Amino acid sequence: MEGKTKRASGRGLYAEGDKNPHEHDGTVHETTNPTGTKKLYIESYGCQMNFSDSEIVASVLGKEGYTTTQNPEDADLVLLNTCSIRDKAEQTVRNRLNHFNGHKRKNPNMKIGVLGCMAERVKGKLLDEEKLVDLVVGPDAYRDLPNLLQELDGGRKAVNVILSKEETYDDIEPVRLGGNGVSAFVSITRGCDNMCTFCVVPFTRGRERSRNPQTIVDEVLDLNERGYKEITLLGQNVDSYLWYGGGLKKDFDKASDLAKASSVHFADLLSLVAEAAPKMRIRFSTSNPQDMRDDVLETIAKYKNICNYIHLPVQSGSSRILELMNRGHNREEYKSLIERINRIIPGCAISHDMISGFPTETEEDHEQTLSLMEHVRYHFGYMFFYSERPNTYAARKLEDDIPLDVKKRRLTEIIQVQNKHSLGRHQEMIGHTFEVLVEGTSKKSDEQLFGRTDQNSVVVFDKGSFKPGDFCHVKIERCTAATLIGSVVEPS
């Protein structure tokens, strides 16, 4: 489900008990830059990529003398890094913009800007018709922020929503915002070429391009040196990573034979990163069933430091709906991939994204979704009801014909099945001992810490002498569907 809590700070994405580590809602970022004179307040909504992009933005603006603040009333510049994935995400942003316009009435020098997917989708409308913002910047235009801010200083409004064929921000060193100093995101691709018929991302983030692997490894090594213990490689579809010297993924066929022969696929990148930082935990998100190759599974199995956890959205258990969604695979092919994961990486945790009420979905299709869930027994799930997005194929060609109450009822049933499986998976872990990377202090008690297992389960335990960034071994004693509870033991 969509996150509801507004977190004041911290690594919202992986916060303890967070329902959805793949999405977040209103994380406020703060870092310190003692040399900065101007104050930036930045909030991120939506996927991890937005969180990661906000770190690029903070880096670009840091060079312009901005330091981040947690107090919007103090800010010279308020930025919202936005999400368009469902209508509700955009409503949330509109509400926040109205809220910040309240501050602006008291402090007319304050500038308000919208970044990210909603900036790209709605473009100048937020500025001209709705008069909610001064600045609109799409996901590929963050390097232009200094120029755009100058435009604002000249009393003009500023917009840049040009999507790029090359931009990967690979030379920009992100400013790590509000994190726990333990875990960081590293972007590896931008955009998406998959064109799932319900999805707005290909329109808001443009065509898919991969980042130079050398800059990825350099960033990981730098994080390692600075004491980080875990990285998550990020892309809309990491399995589709393909470096052949730059350019769009779709132009790979036109590359020279030499470029093709020396190209780097996702499995190669995983090995490079795992070997460069053997003591760090390596995670990745999001995997895509139509592009995930067995060499990726073999690489996960080969390296101890690559976590045994795959977020593998499926969206529906019905082959008919999968076809209408243009997912590029059917139910049987997905089941066969799950079998290969279970065989090649025994014990690997798998999570999903699921959508209820896609156009034309019948009760039978819905039953197929529930039965696929029973078959896989996912460890975690992120579940939504269908929200029609303007300009997508589904919006243009398919009628949004499932009544809201039916979408919601089916979603509730999907969530109930998932809760049963999450609890069951956790119950099976009771009595077992897991290595846990400590991320922070438990929300419920200062005397307890929380961290994650390799398989991505949240574990809470008495802190003893441990601190964030430590690895410890925890024997599981109790659980809920969301959390494991245990005690630190000596490694066996």
Smallest gap, in angstroms, from Cβ of residue 351 to ligand F3S? 15
* 39-98 positions binding ligand SAH, by CB under 6 A: 47, 85-86
* 266-295 positions binding ligand F3S, by CB under 6 A: 288
Distance CA 382, CA 22 (A): 8
Quick one: which of 201, 300, 324, 402 contacts ligand SAH (CB under 6 A)? 201
Nearer to ligand SAH, 69 or 315 (CB): 315
230-234 vs 483-489, strand pairing mode: unpaired
> Is there binding between residue 236 and ligand F3S (CB under 6 A)?
yes
> Is there binding between residue 367 and ligand SAH (CB under 6 A)?
no
Distance CA 236, CA 165 (A): 16
Which residue, among 99, 10, 90, has the nearest Cα to 46 in the 3D structure?
Answer: 90
Nearer to ligand F3S, 288 or 453 (CB): 288
Nearer to ligand SAH, 255 or 395 (CB): 395
202 touches, from ligand F3S, ligand SAH, none (C-beta below 5 to 8 Å by class): ligand F3S
Q: Which stretch binds ligand F3S (CB under 6 A): 21-29, 150-158, 191-199, 254-262?
A: 191-199
85 touches, from ligand SAH, ligand F3S, none (C-beta below 5 to 8 Å by class): ligand SAH
Q: Which residues of 359-398 are buried (b: 16+ CB within 10 A; e: fewer)?
A: bebeeebbebbbebbeebbbbbbbbbbbbebeebbbbeeb
Quick one: which of 97, 122, 177, 199 contacts ligand SAH (CB under 6 A)? 199
> Is there binding between residue 201 and ligand F3S (CB under 6 A)?
yes
> Is there binding between residue 353 and ligand SAH (CB under 6 A)?
yes
> Is there binding between residue 369 and ligand SAH (CB under 6 A)?
no
Nearer to ligand SAH, 366 or 389 (CB): 389
Nearer to ligand F3S, 196 or 417 (CB): 196
> What is the size of the binding site for ligand F3S (CB under 6 A)?
10
> Is there binding between residue 389 and ligand SAH (CB under 6 A)?
yes
How many other CB atoms sit within 10 Å of the CB of residue 473?
15
Quick one: which of 10, 21, 116, 202 contacts ligand F3S (CB under 6 A)? 202
> Is there binding between residue 384 and ligand SAH (CB under 6 A)?
yes
CA separation, residue 428 to residues 40, 347, 479 (Å) = 46, 12, 10
Which residue, among 438, 384, 390, has the nearest Cα to 414 in the 3D structure?
Answer: 384
CA separation, residue 289 to residues 232, 321, 336, 338, 358 (Å) = 19, 15, 10, 9, 19
Is the distance from CB of 250 to CB of 238 less than 8 angstroms? no
Q: Which residues of 13-30 are buried (b: 16+ CB within 10 A; e: fewer)?
A: bbbbebbbbbbbbbbbbb
Backbone angles phi, psi at 79, to 5 degrees: -120, 135
How many other CB atoms sit within 10 Å of the CB of residue 126?
25
* 2-41 positions binding ligand SAH, by CB under 6 A: 22
> Is there binding between residue 237 and ligand F3S (CB under 6 A)?
yes
Q: Is 212 exposed, middle or buried (0-12, 13-18, 19+ CB in 10 A)?
A: middle
Question: Residue numbers of the site for ligand F3S (CB under 6 A)?
Answer: 192, 194-196, 199, 201-202, 236-237, 288
The residues that touch ligand SAH, with contacts defined as CB under 6 A, are 22, 47, 85-86, 198-199, 201, 236-237, 286, 313, 315, 353, 355, 384, 386-387, 389
